[in-house]
Amino acid sequence: MHDGFDYLGDDKTNNIAELTAILRAAEIVPIGAAAVVHTDSQYSIGVLTKGWKAKANQELVANVKSALAQRKSWQLRYVPGHAGVPLNERADELAREAVTSRSSKLPTIPG
């Protein structure tokens, strides 16, 4: 398992953070690798896979869609937030660490 965090600034929304997390995963995991991305963001799943129209964050949504289009074996899977799902709770811890430390620590994955 590899984890990390990315400080995006104080003015970013949770939707921007959720979309950026998916984009960072796509940037870090090699293109040929299969992946299942678990997210508690129904917004992200909606704008990326269900045809929801993004009123805001249109450029970011387009960038994430482009990154995912190169990764045919990727899936986005919804998990409930703040419901005791261990890795989702870990993601929340990492998000808080990014905000508290005002820094980023992105993982690198060889290959």
Q: Does 78 fall in a domain?
A: yes
Calculate what percentage of the chain has a pLDDT beyond 90.
84
Q: Does 107 fall in a domain?
A: no
* Whether residue 15 has pLDDT greater than 70: yes
In single-letter form, the type of residue at position 95 comes to A
Q: Does 9 fall in a domain?
A: no
Q: Does 1 fall in a domain?
A: no
- Locate 45 and state its tokens: 């799943």
What is the rounded average pLDDT of the residues 1-29?
93
In single-letter form, the type of residue at position 60 comes to L
Q: Does 8 fall in a domain?
A: no
- Locate 82 and state its tokens: 């703040």
CATH number of the domain encompassing residue 34: 3.30.420.10
The pTM is what? 0.90
Q: Does 2 fall in a domain?
A: no
How far the first Cα of the chain sits from its last, in Å, is 14
pLDDT band at 111 (very low <50, low <70, confident <90, very high): low
- Average pLDDT along the chain: 93
What range defines the domain where residue 50 resides? Answer: 14-101
* Whether residue 96 has pLDDT greater than 90: yes
| CA–CA distance, 81 with 45 (Å, rounded to integer) | 14
Tell me, what DSSP letter sits at residue 51? -
Q: In this predicted model, what pLDDT tens digit does every residue of 35-86 receive, in sequence order? A: 999 999 999 999 999 999 999 999 999 999 999 999 989 999 999 998 999 9
Domain count across the chain? 1
